[in-house]
Amino acid sequence: MHIVLDDTAMAAAGQGNVLASRLIHRAHAEAGWFLYAPTCALVEADRARPGTAEHLAALPGITVLDLDLPAALDLARRATWAIAHSQYAAQPTPDRPDGAIIATTAPKRWAGGPVRVLDLTP
């Protein structure tokens, strides 16, 4: 299971969201569960809730995704970097041929988009 945390999911994890906490626990404790934190979304989450970036980056079950050149070129054409980097990270890759699911507490922002969504709204 490959899951990308968007900025809202990251901020929710820092506020004690039970569903986000379960995902983090699974990624740490269970084989086959992977959580990704796109850098641009991590920055936005930290702006919304200071300390979020350091907290999430320190967790062993979360992989922070760098902003590499292909991602930067894709983001340059988009309105918001946090959403764009999350969507880019969820796209299929050789390691994730089916792509990843985006975990969010704002599912309406992803409506009609090319990604699968996991609603973390309590």
Whole-prediction pTM: 0.92
Check pLDDT > 80 for residue 9. Answer: yes
**114: CB partners within 8 A, 6+ apart:** 87, 91
Distance, CA of 46 to CA of 54 (rounded, Å):
8
Name the pLDDT band for 120 (thresholds 50, 70, 90): very high
Q: For 15-41, give the DSSP string.
A: TT-HHHHHHHHHHHHSTT-EEEEEHHH
User: Which of 44, 4, 18 lies closest to 121, judged by CA?
Assistant: 18
CB 84 within 8 Å of CB 114: no
Average pLDDT of the residues of the chain = 92
Check pLDDT > 90 for residue 95. Answer: no
The alpha helices in the chain, defined as continuous H runs, are 7-14, 18-29, 39-48, 52-57, 69-75, 81-90
Predicted confidence at residue 80, as pLDDT, reads 84
Distance, CA of 79 to CA of 115 (rounded, Å):
17
Tens digits of residue pLDDT in 20-78: 999 999 999 999 999 999 999 999 999 999 999 999 999 989 999 998 888 888 777 77
